[in-house]
Structure 1
Amino acid sequence: MADIFDVIADGTRRDILRLLLDRASAGQDGTSVSHIVGELGVSQPTVSKHLKVLREAHLVSVREEGQHRYYSLSAEPLDEVDDWLVPFFTQDGELQAAAAALPDSAAHAAEVVGRAAASAKHAVTNALRKLPGR
């Protein structure tokens, strides 16, 4: 399997992941290849090539219905990226030292709450960016 950082380094693949995330946030259960092609303005063979890479990296799952394939985001592999990035956002390792002093269950709870807060901040920031006049 390719390194997760190599997989997400490609802009088209990031665009596909963003589209799948947006569609999932809107309650869509899977997105067709033709929808991705139409939204991104990229050729079908190019989209299929990138979806194959994303599938092999376990970043997307596919559901087949007849001749149609519907793709959904599987964000778990991005935890590796998140784990790598988090130390860059802490000041002098203070948060890491504090987390290391916590019992495992408390450290896990703090991590879950922190991720939820970061996710909520990201969603609000994106929603505000989409408002007219911004």
Structure 2
Amino acid sequence: MADIFDVIADGTRRDILRLLLDRSNVGERGTSVSHIVHELGTSQPTVSKHLKVLREAHLVTVREEGQHRYYSLSSEPLDEVDDWLVPFLGDDAAAAAGVPVLTDSAAHAAEVVGRAAASAKYAVANALKKLPGR
């Protein structure tokens, strides 16, 4: 799988992600390729190429209905970007972004819990992959 930072480095892919986010915020269950092409003013082959990259990075999901495909945002892979970015925000910027500022002991406890949760998520995901029929 491509590095998430490489995937979102492309402006067209960021535009697609923003469009899908905006559409999901108004209750849309998916956005057609033709709608994306129309909104971005980009060619269908270009949009399809970028959607493939986003699909492979698990940033979008696709639902097929007949010959039509509807894409939706799947923002979980962006958690890695968020985790990387938060330390650069500083206490003031973090507080402005709604991230609570923690004491040193609370921050350490949060880090320990976060690492444990990430390890558990990884273990469960790998166990599920090994189940028959997956």
Q: 1:87 to 1:41 in 2, by over 3 A?
A: same
Check whether the contact 1:31–1:71 (CA below 8 A) recurs between aligned residues: yes
For 1:21, the equivalent position in structure 2 comes to 21
| Aligned counterpart, 1:99 | 107
* Alpha-carbon distance in 2 for matches of 1:70, 1:11: 21
* DSSP-derived class of the 1:29 partner: coil
| 1:44 partner letter | Q
What code does the residue aligned with 2:113 have?
A: D
CA distance in 2, matches of 1:96, 1:85: 19
State the superposition RMSD in angstroms.
Answer: 2.0
| Secondary structure of 1:90's aligned partner | helix
SS at match of 2:49: helix
Runs of 4 or more, structure 1, over 2 Å off, are: 94-98, 101-105
- 1:95 shift after superposition: 4.2
The letter of the residue matching 1:81 is: V
Partner of 1:71: 71
Question: Which structure 1 segments of 5+ residues have no match?
Answer: 109-134
Alignment of 1:78-97 (within 5 A): 78-91=78-91, 95=102, 97=104
Q: For 2:5 and 2:86, how far apart are their aligned partners in 1?
A: 15
Residues 71-115 of structure 1: CA distance to partner in whole angstroms, max 9, x if unpaired?
A: 000000000000000000124xx748342145839xx9xxxxxxx
Q: Could you give the per-residue CA deviations for residues 10-43 of structure 1, whole angstroms, max 9, x where no partner exists?
A: 0000000000000000000000000000000000
CA distance in 2, matches of 1:17, 1:24: 10
Taking every aligned residue pair, what percent have the same amino acid on both sides? 80
- Mind listing any 5+ residue stretches in structure 2 that lack a counterpart? 92-100, 118-134
Aligned counterparts of 1:96 and 1:58: Cα–Cα separation in 2: 35
Amino acid at match of 2:108: A
- CA distance in structure 1 between the partners assigned to 2:69 and 2:49 by the alignment: 14
- 1:1-134 equivalences under 5 Å are 1-91=1-91, 95=102, 97=104, 98-101=106-109, 104=113
> Is the Cα–Cα contact under 8 Å of residues 90 and 96 in structure 1 kept in the other structure?
no
